[in-house]
């Protein structure tokens, strides 16, 4: 029993340090977000208009939905590169169901359910088979995207009921429905991350997997669950993407995994695992959304925007490395 007690004591000290770090990190991201907002307000007078802020909320919703699930994976020390492909497949499943005469509600449930086996497959291959997360999800990214292309013949499916489009374009008062969905998912994700064994054990595994195993905890189970959560959150993002575009594209979500990784890392989650925050991830996603919106408003050409986003990812990774060196 001694190893268990010692690990528990070390974990409590680690949690205290982690709690202090999370407050500081979230504050830093929030300050960066405010500085960027002030700069954009000076550069373009339309940034702070209500319509544009609501547009930012709509654009950021997809980032948040995918990034919340990605946080659970990265905090274990893993990564999920398949989320864009999962979103595409989920959108195709929903679209094909509706075109076959299935009701909107059931079609949405089928689309969300499509994300579950994708995440489960990733989790099993990583935890039970022992393959590297990068290789596994790189392979499933291609496989799942291929399935979406085969199901559609590479042709987009479009034209859905208004009740479905509402999830992507509708509003509750002035607030976009997509933003409300993202907020609900973020709150639920934050609760699971902070208040349940899933979040605690995922973080502990990222810190010291062997110590967790010596405590008698089923490490395989708690490495699989984050990938399942990631698959489900990507499928949730598909509802917003497909409803907003009124089209199910087999190539939807292309490179969204890079945006999600950038948002998660900018929010303070360590790529090495063992440290993370859903609040930080949400702020990181908002930072990505505000930056993209600002570049659009300043009429920056798309290829320069791509360059800027790549630079942001690089900076986020460098900052993550610097944080780890500072803590060690």
pLDDT computed for residue 193 by the predictor:
96
Residue 5 has pLDDT above 60, yes or no: no
Residues in the chain: 328
Note whether 279 and 27 are within 8 A (CB): no
pLDDT tens-digit readout, 44-85: 888 888 888 888 898 899 999 999 999 999 999 999 999 999
pLDDT tens-digit readout, 198-232: 999 999 999 999 999 999 999 999 999 999 999 99
Where are the chain's structural domains? 45-327
The pLDDT of 168-179, averaged and rounded, is 93
C-alpha–C-alpha distance, residues 110 and 89, integer Å: 11
Secondary structure of 214-277 as H, E, C letters: HCCCCHHHHHHHHHHHHHHHHHHHHHHHHHHHCEECCCCCCCHHHHHHHHHHHCCCCCCCCCCC
pLDDT computed for residue 328 by the predictor:
59
pLDDT computed for residue 309 by the predictor:
77
Angle between helices 104-127 and 219-245 (to 10 degrees): 140
C-alpha–C-alpha distance, residues 125 and 123, integer Å: 6
Name the most confidently modeled range: 130-144, 252-266, 303-317: 130-144
CATH number of the 45-327 domain: 1.10.3470
Residue 4 has pLDDT above 50, yes or no: no
C-alpha–C-alpha distance, residues 71 and 306, integer Å: 23
pLDDT computed for residue 3 by the predictor:
45
The pLDDT of 310-317, averaged and rounded, is 78
**The pairing of beta strand 171-172 with beta strand 175-176:** antiparallel
């Amino acid at each position: 029993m001694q190893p268990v007690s010692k690990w528990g004591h070390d974990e409590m000290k680690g949690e205290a340090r982690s709690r202090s770090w999370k407050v500081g990190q979230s504050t830093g991201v929030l300050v960066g977000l405010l500085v960027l907002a002030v700069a954009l307000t000076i550069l373009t007078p339309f940034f702070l208009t209500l319509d544009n802020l609501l547009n930012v909320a709509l654009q950021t919703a997809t980032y948040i939905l995918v990034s919340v699930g990605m946080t659970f994976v990265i905090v274990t020390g893993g990564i999920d590169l398949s989320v864009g492909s999962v979103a595409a497949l989920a959108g195709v499943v929903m679209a094909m169901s509706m075109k076959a005469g299935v009701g909107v509600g059931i079609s949405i449930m089928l689309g969300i359910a499509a994300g579950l086996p994708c995440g489960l497959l990733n989790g099993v291959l990583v935890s039970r088979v022992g393959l590297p997360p990068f290789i596994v999800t790189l392979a499933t990214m291609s496989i799942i995207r291929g399935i979406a292309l085969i199901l559609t013949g590479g042709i987009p499916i479009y034209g859905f009921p208004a009740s479905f489009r509402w999830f992507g374009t509708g509003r509750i008062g002035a607030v976009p429905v997509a933003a409300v969905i993202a907020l609900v998912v973020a709150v639920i994700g934050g609760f699971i991350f902070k208040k349940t064994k899933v979040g605690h054990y995922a973080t502990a595994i990222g810190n010291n997997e062997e110590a967790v195993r010596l405590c008698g905890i089923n490490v395989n189970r708690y490495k699989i669950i984050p990938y399942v959560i990631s698959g489900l959150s990507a499928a949730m993002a598909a509802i917003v993407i497909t409803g907003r575009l009124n089209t199910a594209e087999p190539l939807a979500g292309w490179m969204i995994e890079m945006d999600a990784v950038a948002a998660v890392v900018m929010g303070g989650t360590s790529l090495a695992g063992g440290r993370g925050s859903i609040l930080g991830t949400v702020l990181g996603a908002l930072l990505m959304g505000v930056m993209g919106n600002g570049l659009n408003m300043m009429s920056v050409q798309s290829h320069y925007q791509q360059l800027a986003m790549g630079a942001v990812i690089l900076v986020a990774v460098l900052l993550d490395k610097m944080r780890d060196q500072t803590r060690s």
